[in-house]
């Protein structure tokens, strides 16, 4: 009888120390990226794909990765009408250069514009496994500053419009660019 009781106690104590695993589910929303859509300036309701767009953050040597499965320079190039870029979570501004037709042998087609985003951050607790995520609120007075790139050519982005001041998820467009 003592052996059965001892076995039962060992069995009970072995399960009493078990805890739920602290693994953040891949479907849990984390810090959102800014979603940008591109539109045709001549027909503003029609989305327009960019050609070999390379987006480089200030202080970065490489660009934002759009094609993780590609190799070399092509992983940094976007050929689509919608991109998502990360904002800095430890700052109140993030600056990106947007180069259209990056890598083209015809240098007249390569054009760079710069956008500096101004915002405040708010950390929100998600869970013990996932930690915190950062939400962004664009500045009410000057949410962004759009300038021409270093080549002093004309801006390829004709109109830049903020669609959402709060960046809480990646299910909506935050910025529209017409070119």
Tokens linked to 121: 């951050």
Residue 132 lies in a domain: yes
Give a three-class secondary structure readout of 31-76.
CCCEEEEEEECCEEEEECCCCCEEEEECCCCCCCCCCCCCCHHHHH
87-to-39, 121, 135 alpha-carbon distances in Å: 22, 10, 10
Domains in the chain: how many in total? Answer: 1
| Per-residue pLDDT tens over the stretch 138-153 | 999 999 999 998 877 7
Residue 37 lies in a domain: yes
* Domain membership of residue 170 as a residue range: 31-178
Residue 83 lies in a domain: yes
Residue 127 lies in a domain: yes
Question: Whole-angstrom Cα distance, residue 133 to residue 98?
Answer: 26
CB count in 10 Å sphere of residue 64: 19
| Per-residue pLDDT tens over the stretch 37-86 | 999 999 999 999 999 999 999 999 899 999 999 999 999 999 999 999 99
What is this structure's pTM? 0.85
Question: Whole-angstrom Cα distance, residue 52 to residue 36?
Answer: 15
Residue 38 lies in a domain: yes
Tokens linked to 165: 């001041």
Residue 89 lies in a domain: yes
Residue 70 lies in a domain: yes
Residue 25 lies in a domain: no
């Amino acid at each position: 009888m003592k052996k059965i009781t001892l076995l039962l106690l060992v069995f009970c104590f072995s399960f009493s120390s078990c805890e739920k695993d602290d693994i953040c589910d891949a479907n849990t929303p984390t810090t959102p990226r800014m979603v940008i859509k591109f539109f045709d300036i001549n027909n503003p309701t029609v989305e327009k794909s960019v050609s070999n767009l390379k987006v480089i953050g200030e202080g970065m040597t490489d660009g934002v990765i759009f094609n993780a499965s590609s190799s070399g320079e092509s992983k940094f190039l976007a050929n689509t009408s919608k991109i998502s870029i990360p904002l800095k979570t430890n700052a109140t501004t993030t600056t990106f250069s947007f180069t259209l037709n990056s890598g083209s042998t015809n240098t007249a087609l390569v054009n760079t514009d710069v956008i500096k985003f101004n915002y405040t951050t708010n950390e929100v607790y998600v869970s013990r496994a996932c930690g915190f995520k950062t939400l962004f609120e664009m500045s009410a007075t000057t949410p962004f500053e759009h300038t021409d790139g270093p080549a002093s050519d004309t801006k390829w982005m004709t109109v830049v419009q903020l669609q959402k001041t709060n960046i809480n998820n990646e299910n909506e467009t935050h910025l529209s660019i017409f070119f």
